[in-house]
Each structure stands twice: as C-alpha cells, then as structure tokens.
Amino acid sequence: MPATQHGFCVVFPHQPMSSKVLLTGASGFLGQHLLTALSNGNHDITTIGRQPHLHLVCNLASQVPQLLSPFDMVVHAAGKAHTVPKTAAEAAEFDAVNVQGTKNLCRAFDNMGCWPAAFVFISSVAVYGRDAGEMIAENHPLEGSTPYAKSKIAAEAWLAQWCGQHGILLTILRLPLLVGANAPGNLGSMVQAIKRNQYANIGGGTAKKSMVLAIDVANCIEKAAATGGVYNLTDGVHPSFAQLAQAIAQSLGKSPPRNIPLILATLLATLGNFMGSTAPINSLKLKKITATLTFDDQEAVRALGWRPHPVLDSFTLT
C-alpha cells in the first residue's frame, strides 16, 4: 500500500501493529479501557489531558498542545458529559471542552505540519435527540438539543471537515449507556441506589434501553480505526430496566428491586414538577424512564464484524 505524504511526514493509511497512538481521556471510565486494549495491541501510546500523570499535560479546552512527533492514530475520548447544566456558564462548558477542545487538538497537528492516518472520535447517541424510539440508525437526523448533544454534533461536523481536508480516515462511534465496573452517570447512580435499597422499577421496568460494555468498545477500536465510518455500538440485546436492575442487584447480593405502579409514579412526578430540580422525579424524568429507546448497530456488524457480549451475561461490579 503506497504511503500518503502530508507536509514533511509520510503517514501510512493502515496502522502497523507498533503504531504510535495519541489518546485523550485516558483517565476517564472508557479511556482506561481504551488504554488497556491499545496497550495489549503493542501500540506506542501517548496520553494527553489535564491530569499530571499523563504524558502530555494540557487543558485542551483552552490550550493547543505542542506535539513533537507524528502519530499514526488519534483516539479522542476526552469530553464533558454526565451533568445537567443549571446555568448558561455551565452549558457553555460543553462547547469549550467538546468542541473547542477538539479543535485545539486538531490544530496541534496543523501546527506540526504532520497529520495522523486515522482519527477515532467517541461520540454519543445523544446526537439523535430522541427520548423514545426503536432501532434508530446512523442516518437518523441529528436533532439533539441539549448542550451536550449539540457539542457532540458540532465536534463531529468539525472533524468531518478537518479530516476530509487532510485525507485522514475518520471513525465516529456513537455510544449509548456504557456498562462496566464503577461506571459513571446514570448507571452509576442506579448502582448506588440499589446498594442503598432505594431503587424501584416503575410500571414493571419494561422500557428497553440500548447499552454496551466499555470493554467491547475498547476492543473494537483498532478495526474501527482501519475502516472509517459512523457507527452505533450496542450489545444487540437492549435490556429492559427491570433486567438491568435484577443483574445489578444479583451482583451486589441484594434482593430484586421492588416495583412502583405507573399510576403512583405519575402522581409523584406531577408533584415533582412543582418542586424544581430537587425533586427525585418529575414528568420529564418519568417519560424517559418509561420509554423504550434503542439503537441499530447493524452497520457496525456488517463493516466491523462487531460481535459484542450481552451486557446482562457479562455484568460484574466486583
């Protein structure tokens, strides 16, 4: 395969086994899995971020890093998520971290005059902007309206333009709920509630949600980077809340969570509408909890040979 010349560097379109990889977000939940998987692949990995133990210490939201050597592949997993902004300033942080941070990372390569062959961007199914739906595919309009969703949409668009300009093979992975030990976000909150015996299914917990094991995402990065494209990644099973709660409770040695009838939950949610942000539930939260929302990963199956493990079969917290 002939090499492609960028500036003063020669970059190969397919990564050798000992390729040089720049990884952002290595200290995060998914990033730790990515670091382990790439290390097992015998890659030369450079980590970058704000934490002092990383190879390159840099706040991408406000700084353009100085890169001193070329890289074959970039895996960009750093980002802001798992919070609901309460002020305009907090909302702006999503743009600063997820959009400007991505631009600053790209500009580091522009300044060096040498670009990677492949770029993998960790995105989210939030870009679709759906609270309910079944088997939503990658060609669905990007209608996300939250600060988080809009920042991911903007970053995807920026990368598509920038990678196209420089002949870089771009892979975008849109992820649903990530599962694994010590997971953050909604799953982490669910685990803690079950630990305290404070979790209950609503209306039988029949709503199905797409989710995926973080380790499966990490293990597909090399194939995804060499292929390019936009992919939803799920476990292909899409468990219900009741099934997930049962798996968590079993792993913790807890009794199965109790159930709250939907009519009672609706009454509590109506009261919560008048309590503000301190309410444990309101009508919007109830709608999300009781609505099925799943995503189609058949494009990844076809193009990447995606063969994930069912979350419920692999769920461990200890």
CA distance linking residue 120 with residue 118, whole number of Å: 7
Task: Return the structure tokens found at 238.
Answer: 């899409």
CA triplet 13, 35, 174: central angle to 5 degrees? 70
Local confidence pLDDT in tens for the 318 residues of the chain: 333 434 334 344 444 446 999 999 999 999 999 999 999 888 999 999 999 999 999 999 999 999 989 999 999 999 998 777 878 898 899 999 999 999 999 999 999 999 999 999 999 999 999 999 999 999 999 999 999 999 999 999 999 999 999 999 999 999 999 998 888 888 888 888 899 998 899 989 999 999 999 999 999 999 999 999 999 999 999 999 999 999 999 988 999 899 999 899 888 888 888 887 667 778 877 888 889 999 999 999 999 999 999 999 876 554
CB-CB contact of 296 with 137 (8 Å): yes
CA distance linking residue 224 with residue 207, whole number of Å: 30
| Domain 4-183+211-235+294-311 class in CATH | alpha beta
Q: Where are the domains of the chain?
A: 4-183+211-235+294-311
CB-CB contact of 173 with 216 (8 Å): no
pTM of the model: 0.89
CB-CB contact of 34 with 140 (8 Å): no
Task: Return the structure tokens found at 70.
Answer: 């070329």
Alpha carbon distances (Å) from 122 to 39, 53, 231, 269: 18, 22, 10, 34
